[in-house]
Amino acid sequence: MADFIQLLFNGLVTGSILAIAAVGVSIVYGVLKLVNFAAGDFLTLGAFVTVFLSVDRHVPFVVAIFVAMLTIAAISVALEFTIWRGLRKSKAGTLSLFLVATGVSLIVRQLILIIFGVGSRKFNVDQVKTYQFLGAQIAQAQLVVLIFASATIIGLGLLIAKSPIGKGMRAFSDNPSLASVAGVNVDRIILATWLISGLLTGLAGVFQGMVQGSFESTMGWMLLLPIFAAVVLGTIGDAYGALLGGFVLGLVMELSTWSIFFGGVPSSYKPVVAFATLALVLLVKPEGLLGYKARSI
Partner 1 sequence: MEAFLQPGFWVFVLVMAGIYCIFALGLQVQYGLGGMMNFGHVGMMALSAYSVAILVITYGWNLYLAAFAGVVVAAFGGALLGLTTIRLRGDYFAIVSIAFSEIVRYVIQNSDNFTGGTRGSLAIPSKTGAFTSYTKTFEPVLTKVQDLLSPILGDVVNRDFAMLLIVWIVAGLLLLFVSRTQMTSWARVLRATREDDHVPSALGKNVFMFRLQALIFGSVIAGIAGVFWSLQFSILAPEDFQTIVTFYAWMILIMGGATRVKGVPVGALFFGFLYAGTRFFEFPPFTWFSSSERAYLRVIIIGLVLIILMIKRPQGVFGKREEMVLEQ
Partner 2 sequence: MSTNNILEVENVSIAFGGLKAVNGASLTVERGTITSVIGPNGAGKTTLFNLVSGSLTADSGSIKLDGTSIEKLKPHQIAHLGLIRTFQGAKIIKRLSVLENIVLAGQNNPGEKLWRIMTPKVRRDYEEAAKEKAYGLLKEVGLESLSDSFAGILSGGQRKLLDLSRCLMADPKIMLLDEPFAGVNPALVERLLTVLNTIRAKHSLSFLLVEHDLETVMNISDKVVVMAQGQVIASGLPGSIYDNDVVVDAYLGSRKRNS
Ligand X SMILES: Nc1ncnc2c1ncn2[C@@H]1O[C@H](COP(=O)(O)OP(=O)(O)O)[C@@H](O)[C@H]1O
Name the site residues for partner 2 (rule: CB under 8 A).
292-293, 295-297
204 binds partner 1, rule: CB under 8 A: no
CA distance linking residue 184 with residue 195, whole number of Å: 17
In the shown chain, the binding pattern of residues 263 to 292 toward ligand X, with x for contact by CB under 6 A and - for none, equals -----------------------------x
Among 102, 120, 163, 175, binds partner 1 (CB under 8 A): 102
93 binds partner 1, rule: CB under 8 A: yes
Residue whose C-alpha is closest to residue 207's, from 20, 77, 81, 36:
20
Residue placing its CB nearer to partner 2 in the complex, 262 or 292:
292
Residue placing its CB nearer to partner 1 in the complex, 156 or 227:
227
DSSP category for residue 57: S
Burial class (CB in 10 A: 0-12, 13-18, 19+), 41: buried
Residue placing its CB nearer to ligand X in the complex, 264 or 291:
291
* CA 77 remoteness from chain centre: 17
Residue placing its CB nearer to partner 2 in the complex, 176 or 291:
291
Contact 12, 247 (CB under 8 A): yes
The item of ligand X, partner 2, partner 1, none sharing an interface with residue 284, based on CB under 5 to 8 Å by kind, is: none
120 binds partner 1, rule: CB under 8 A: no
CA distance linking residue 16 with residue 19, whole number of Å: 5
Which residue minimizes CB distance to ligand X? 294
SS3 34: coil
Among 8, 269, 289, 290, binds partner 1 (CB under 8 A): 269
The item of ligand X, partner 2, partner 1, none sharing an interface with residue 96, based on CB under 5 to 8 Å by kind, is: partner 1
Burial class (CB in 10 A: 0-12, 13-18, 19+), 237: buried
Pairing mode, strands 214-215 and 121-122: antiparallel
Among 177, 294, 296, 297, binds ligand X (CB under 6 A): 294
Residue placing its CB nearer to partner 2 in the complex, 118 or 297:
297
CA distance linking residue 228 with residue 22, whole number of Å: 7
Residue whose C-alpha is closest to residue 292's, from 179, 172, 158, 174:
174
Chain positions contacting partner 1, by CB under 8 A: 29, 35, 83, 86-87, 90-96, 98-100, 102-104, 106-107, 110-111, 113-114, 118, 225, 228-229, 232, 236, 266, 268-269, 271-272, 275, 278-279, 282-283, 286, 296-297
